[in-house]
Every structure is written in C-alpha cells, then in structure tokens.
A and B are shown apart, each in its own frame.
Chain A
C-alpha cells in the first residue's frame, strides 16, 4: 500500500491503542455492571460504601434522656411530648464529648413554625394552638413566658 495511506492508519491505530491503555489505568477495577440491569446498575461499587460512611449528625433521642433526665421528663409529661430534643437544639452527635454544649434555638420564629395561626381547612395546622406572631406579646422571646419543655397553659 502507498505511504500516504499507511501513515494516517498508524496514527489512528496508535491513538486507539493509547486510549485503550489509558482506560486500563483510569477505570477502577470495581467499575462495571453490579446487578441485573446494564441501564441502572452500571457503576463504581466502592461508592456504595463511601455513602455508607457519610457521617451522621443527628443522634438517638434516647441518649439525651440519660443525662438530661429533668428536661426529658418534663417534656414527656407535657403537650410538647411529640417534639424531639433535636428539633430545638440541633444535631446532637458528638455531644457532649466533642461538642460541649448544644445550641438553643430561642427565636420567636422557631416557635412560630408551628404556632403561627394559619386557618387552613383540611390541614392539621389549623388544629395546633395558634397565635398571630405579629401581635402576641411582640418582641419578647416566647421562653420568657412559656416553658418550651412544658408549655401547658394550665401549669403556667
């Protein structure tokens, strides 16, 4: 065959070859089809473990009770019994070892998430005790009058 035909052919073969060799090094061993479907199960297997190792921030609520028995007991006997400690105190993993004390959300807005009155028929929001945040004892934090761990009005 003529030279001008062979030369680009060699270049093409070299390019394809080097891409195939590079592929061997770049594609991890565990990349491939792991399951029944080429469409949905084509992936790098070790990524599943990477996601499993993602650090959790929220911890079991039972833990809180062991040390903060007083708050927990008070809450459990109140109308706020449904609420979780970490709703108002943020994620508790690593507390108290690494994080000495947890945050305390004392803003009015935080209580108003549930207590701003929205008269919505067909929603349980309408059944929560509601106030108008713009009018009810403005500017004062709710905890000054209501105990967040025991908000029951009859015990106020």
Chain B
C-alpha cells in the first residue's frame, strides 16, 4: 500500500475533524441544558422530610394508598415509613410492616422484642420517590413510557408502559413496583394531580406533625426552599449522582 505525503496529510486532517465532531456536539448542547437548569422553568418541585418530627403514625401511607388507588391490602406502596432502632451493641434494627400503613403499635421488630433499656436511639424515616434530576429509571426505559416533566416530576405513562421492569431494577431507592391492577410500573409522583391543582399532596395534607412538606425550588421566598437552602439538609444516596429532590432534616448516618 502506497501513500503520498499529500494524501497522508489530507487523511490526517479529515480524521482529526471527524474525531472532534462528537466532542463539538456535546459542547454545543451544554448551554441549552444549563439554561434549562437556571431559568428555563419557573417551577421545580422539591420535598422536605423532617425526620425529627415523624412519630411513625403511618397516616401518610394510609392517605397515599387511598388517594392514588393503590390496592389497600397489596404489599406495595408509593410511600412508606421505616423504623430504625439502634441498640447499644451497635446493631441497627429496621422494619416497615405493611409499609407503615397501620403505624407502629408494638415495640417488636421482625419478631424480636427489644428491651427499651438497650436502645441508644430510635426514629422513623418516611421514604418516597426522590424525583431525581438524573433519574436512572427514565434512562433505562426502552419505550419512553416514563419521563421527566418540566417541573421536575417523573411520571409513568400507563398506556405506554410494557411492563419490562427495567426501571424497577434501575431505581437505587427501590421506590418502583408493579401496580397490581394496571400491571404497569408505578411510583410516587408527588400527587401530580393535586399539586398542579393548587392542593397539597395527600401525604403532606395527612401529616398532623408537619414532617412532610413540599415547595418550589425556583421560588426563593418559598418557606420550604428557604429551609433547603439555609439549613443542613441531606439527601439519600448522594454518591449515585442521581440528584434526588427529597431533602431530609435530621437524617441519621445509619439511614440507607
């Protein structure tokens, strides 16, 4: 194979341009994305959970199931409450019977009686969909049946979902499940029908202790936004890079 100098230079140039193309297109996209992050939308929903206030009554789970037509006795729920009991020997006992729907009416955890004397600390942690900015569940959907709305909520299209279950596997928070009746992927959507109609989400309204709140991150005057930006809040599994939008006050290091 022969190659003149002219041809060699031509090919090298063409190769360099071709190699630079994909990098160019990525860089060209970025300002658009950045704009969307800052002023593209006037609304970005966020959730604030105050674990210090939660008493584990489970009224939020009860209200959520009723509001969102999740079969009451099926072992699935869009939101749930976990109980953490950390004993003096360093063990962490976690349970969430019936997703916490009926509250916690016994000191027994998974059939184990724990002596109150042995408890170092104990508390309740409500969990729900984090409505991530980088939702892995959306990324893996092969048919475009789950997506992010412009106000940051991830929804599932029940007519479009084929029930493959990739999203259920992809969610690092385990919030997705199959709806026992519709047989499609199901998850918390911040009660999208309520919040877009000026109502509070069912769990937020049901909580007598104000352990659950919602607000608009794009509104600096929003009381929830003020807490999130001025106080020490945490998110779950930050290291996954999903940018979750459920913020926790008073979260313990043991909470996973």
Q: Give chain A's interface residues, CB within 8 Å of chain B.
A: 31, 35-37, 39-44, 47-48, 50-58, 60-61, 82-84, 86-87, 90-91, 109, 112-114, 116, 118-125, 128, 133
Contacts and interface: CB of A to CB of B under 8 A. Distances in A.
A87 B206 contact: yes
A31 B144 contact: yes
Contact of B193 (A43, A56, A91): A56
Contacts of A83: 208
B125 to A, nearest CB: 10
B161 to A, nearest CB: 10
**Interface residue tally on B, bucketed by range:** 35 or more
A113 B120 contact: no
B206 to A, nearest CB: 6
Contact of A84 (B54, B155, B205): B205
B113 to A, nearest CB: 13
B197 A87 contact: no
Contact of B54 (A54, A121, A124): A124
Nearest to A31: B144
A131 to B, nearest CB: 11
A53 B194 CA distance: 9
A124 B159 contact: no
Interface string B104-126: 11110000000010011111100
Interface of A is mostly: loop
A42 B85 contact: no
B191 to A, nearest CB: 8
A125 B122 CA distance: 10
A110 to B, nearest CB: 9
Contact of B208 (A44, A57, A84): A84
B40 A41 contact: no
A66 B57 CA distance: 28
B197 A42 contact: no
Given A40-B147, A48-B149, A113-B103, A124 B189 contact: no
Nearest to A124: B55
Given A82-B208, A109-B102, A41 B160 contact: no
26 contacts: A35-B36, A37-B33, A41-B147, A42-B147, A43-B144, A43-B146, A43-B160, A44-B159, A51-B189, A52-B196, A56-B67, A56-B199, A61-B205, A82-B209, A84-B205, A86-B63, A86-B205, A91-B66, A91-B67, A113-B104, A114-B57, A116-B105, A123-B121, A123-B124, A124-B52, A124-B55
A84 B104 CA distance: 19
Contacts of A44: 144, 157, 159-160
A90 B63 CA distance: 8
Given A43-B145, A57-B66, A120-B119, 11 more contacts: A35-B36, A44-B144, A44-B160, A51-B192, A52-B193, A56-B199, A57-B67, A84-B205, A109-B102, A113-B105, A121-B122
Given A56-B194, A125-B124, A43 B157 contact: yes
Cβ-closest 5 pairs across A and B: A113-B103, A43-B147, A120-B122, A54-B193, A47-B157
A39 B138 contact: yes
B150 interface: yes
Given A37-B33, A40-B138, A123-B124, A118 B199 contact: no
Nearest to A116: B105
B59 interface: yes
B244 interface: no
Contacts of A40: 134-135, 138-139, 147-148
Nearest to B56: A125
Nearest to B86: A122
